[in-house]
Each structure stands twice: as C-alpha cells, then as structure tokens.
Amino acid sequence: MVFSLDSVAERLGLDSSSPLLQTALTHSSYAAEHEVESNERLEFLGDAVVDLAVADLIVTSYPDLNEGTGSLVRSRVVNEAALARAARAINLGPALRVGRGVIKENGAERPSLLADAFEAVVAAIYLENGYDAARTFVHAALAKDVAAASLEPGQVDPKTRLRQWAEASGRGTPLYSVLSEGPSHDVTFVATVVLGGEIVATGEGPSKKSAEANAAHAAWRARVDA
C-alpha cells in the first residue's frame, strides 16, 4: 500500500495539517528528539473512547449478549493485537513520527506502538469532530472483530481464563509483576505470574499487556502441575 498522509487523514475524517493529528502521530521517541508533545495523553483519552464505542456497538447490535459475555467480547476486541490490525488497515504505521532508534529497528510496525497510535488518532477524531464521528470510525474499524468475537463469546483472553480457573480451584487470584529489558526503542517486557505465593510461569512480549498474556497462557498450559 502506497503511503499518503492525505489519504490516511481522509480516512480519519481529519485534515492532514491538523495539529491534533500531528500530535496523535508522534511517538515519544520522536517527541524526545524534537522537544514536541507525544501522543501519550491522546492515547490515554482514546483508550476510553474506544472502550465506550465498542461497548456501544455490542449493546446496540448484539442484544443477546448479557453483561458478562459482552465484557468478554469487548476484551477480545479492545486489545493490542486487534487495535494493531485496525491501525495497519488504515496504513497508520508509515504515518507515525518516530525517533531514529525506532526507525533503525523498524519499530513503527510493533503491535504495541500501532495500537497506541490507533487510540491516539481516535482521541484526535473525538476532540476535533465529536463523539459521534469517533464512534462511527471505531465501529467501522472494529465491527468485524466484534462480530467474530460475538460468535464464541465464551472464548476468553488468557488472563481472564487463568483467573477464573485459579479462583474456582481455590488457588486465589493470579498476581503479575513486569520488568523491562533493552533500549527504549526496542523494549522487551518480561512478566511473572504468581499463584499462592509461588512463581508458576513467565512470559515475554513487546508490551506489558502481551507479556502478561503470554505469562498467563504459559501458566494455563502448566496448570496440571500447579
């Protein structure tokens, strides 16, 4: 796909010269090198807007899902992998302003960075054009993921699955601790999951969320020995 900032902006319903869009496309690595604002504050706001928009879609389009299954569907859609796919679908990666280290490592295509940028541009849409515009964009971007997740709402994410099993079997609630390794432009997160005061598994990933999910999956696979 040939990159064009104008085409990306058009799909977002924003002008390519919009200051909000420019900030939404600015990773912290670029911001530090050029002394400009990063997209982290917009990401924080966008996270809440995406959550609300997806919940809105579930409630209005899937009346058979109750609160519990609706929450599971949302957790399978509002996550790093799904948001990164949505970002790639609109060719968001090449539009991002990233630092030299990230460019060197082709880090603009990291799922964690793309997912954060997706939330940031949603916030930019929200602030510039209002909630209805942001909701319409999120629905269009994630409708297929919501539809797929709603077909099998019982399939839960690894952390939820592990917690449900651990609590039902009397092992208590899993506790996670996360450490980071490597340079700022290429960080690897290592998560440890503890059950009953004992370390039962570890997992790695490019973000805290993915590391915890991988640790939970490893703990789930090893549960027969727990």
- Spot the catalytic one: 80, 116, 119, 212: 119
Nearest Cα to 218, choosing from 170, 156, 180, 161? Answer: 161
The per-residue b/e assignment along 172-185, b for 16 or more CB within 10 angstroms, e otherwise, is eebebebeeeeeeb
Report the C-alpha gap between 122 and 124 in whole angstroms. 5
Partner residues linked to 205 by β-bridges: 189
User: Does 145 qualify as catalytic in the annotation?
Assistant: no
User: Does 64 qualify as catalytic in the annotation?
Assistant: no
CB distance 145 to 84 below 8 Å: no
- Spot the catalytic one: 43, 47, 128, 145: 47
Query: What does the CA dihedral 145, 149, 150, 155 come to, rounded to 10 degrees?
Result: -170
Q: Which residues are catalytically annotated? A: 47, 119
